[in-house]
Amino acid sequence: MPARALARALPLHSAPSGLAFSRFGPRLTPRLLGIGRAGHLAITYDDGPDPVATPRVAEALAAQGWRATFFVLGEMVERDPGLVRMLLDAGHEVGIHAYQHRNHRGLTPRAIAEDVRRAHAAVARAGAEPEWYRPPHGALTPEAFVAARRLGLRPVLWTTWGRDWRAAATPEEIRDEVARGRLDGGTLLLHDSDCASEPGCWRPSVDAIPLLADLAGAQHLTVGPLGEHGLA
């Protein structure tokens, strides 16, 4: 495809997420954006599972009595499938992120569908029955949306994030970033792996969890996985 034609096509290629993240998203695509029931904050993690980071995240969540939804990468699951069982045994949900962490905006429709299929197969082999899907970088293309729905997956993005992929991020900065987005009825995005981020960036994210608990408590929010978020 010529460069000029590709530039024109890219906005359409990621139209679902483009609409969700626009100012019209909360009204037109609230479920896709991750807006659920009032008084609840869904907490989600991307890019794992990591044999070092994910258990640490799970421990920090357990200290708060929280359960979360983990959007995992198929190739990470295949390296250590037992981590999926660990998350399930702790009461967490396991969703699909991708097989490899690649931006779908640069892939062909066939490659996108295959990536979603391979990720789903890897997670199923590890013992999970995933319900949720979130693409890398939140770049939800029509092809990924269709591929996910054919596998019985429900795409969901986020309303706030900690920008915890940065090496210089502190727990306080992560909390402050989260506070700038929608919490009440919203969906929070964090990371339990640095496979697509700065090395060690998951550590301040773990340390931020007590600060996030204070933030949620100040707004009288309960915190839990997407399955308790009222997205039906």
User: Of 13, 92, 104, 191, which is the active-site residue?
Assistant: 191
Does the active-site annotation cover 80? no
Cis-peptide into 171, omega within 30 deg:
no
Token digits of residue 80:
């250590």
| Dist CA 171 CA 187 (whole Å) | 19
| Dist CA 89 CA 84 (whole Å) | 9
Burial of 96 (0-12, 13-18, 19+ CB in 10 A): buried
Burial 116-139 (b: 16+ CB within 10 A, else e): bbbbbebbeebebebbbbbbbbbb
Which residues make beta-bridge pairs with 95? Answer: 71
Closest CA to 191 of 114, 76, 29: 76
H/E element holding 222? strand 222-224
Tokens 């991750």, residue located: 34
Does the active-site annotation cover 46? yes
User: Of 13, 40, 46, 164, which is the active-site residue?
Assistant: 46
Which residues make beta-bridge pairs with 69? Answer: 44, 93
Alpha helices, H only, 41-153: 53-64, 74-79, 82-89, 109-125, 142-150
Catalytic residue numbers?
Answer: 46, 191
